[in-house]
Amino acid sequence: MSARVVMNASAPLAPTVRTTCPYCGVGCGLLAQPDGRGGAAIAGDPAHPANLGRLCSKGSALGETVGLEGRLLHPMLRRTDGVLARSSWTQAFDQVAHGFRAIIERDGPDAVAFYLSGQLLTEDYYVANKLMKGFIGSANGLRSPVSAAPSGPTPCRAPTRISISPT
Ligand code: SF4
């Protein structure tokens, strides 16, 4: 076999990985088949007790979000001419902090709210709530209804359960 043939041969696919959907607290089991280009084909894991192979629309589309194309990989700030331009983290944090400070000075701390995604980890909730309650001075930390957070309002997962229930 020539070296040219070897170089053009398809690389063997990586083995399928059993993993868990990160999107909500239901925790459906997934089978992820890496495609060798940074992406993966996603299917429900028939052996997982949470979903028995079924996935909702979010989990089914997970493979489309694995690659880096189209992702925001560094901070971007809008210049005075309206064009988005790459910035440093320090510049981005300063701009966000100044924006919050201006809003709070003008309208008070309750003019600020955080929407905390159900995809956040417990540690993320802790930090966000510390920032909101301890530094901003409000309790406006709003949780996603599919949040898996252990404290706060009871998450409602009924829509998710309905979406993956057998028809
Ligand atoms: S219900 Fe949907 S979003 Fe939640 S873990 Fe399952 S596939 Fe993921």
| Full set of structural domains in the chain with CATH | 17-65 (3.30.200.210), 72-106 (no CATH)
Q: For residue range 22-63, list pLDDT tens digits in order.
A: 888 788 999 999 888 888 999 999 999 999 999 999 999 999
Among 45, 55, 146, say which to mutate for ligand 1: greatest number of ligand atoms within 8 Å of CB. Answer: 55
Of all protein residues, the one whose alpha carbon is nearest to atom 7 of ligand 1 is 59
Compute the distance between CA of residue 47 and CA of residue 13 in angstroms, rounded to an integer: 22
Nearest one of 46, 83, 87, 38 to 65, comparing CA atoms: 38
Among 51, 52, 64, 147, say which to mutate for ligand 1: greatest number of ligand atoms within 8 Å of CB. Answer: 51
Asked if residues 139 and 152 have their Cβ atoms less than 8 Å apart, the reply is no
Average pLDDT, stretch 110-115? 92
pTM, full prediction: 0.58
**What local confidence, expressed as pLDDT, does residue 60 receive?**
93
Residue with the larger pLDDT of the pair 117 and 101: 101
Q: For residue range 119-148, list pLDDT tens digits in order.
A: 677 888 899 999 999 999 998 877 655 444
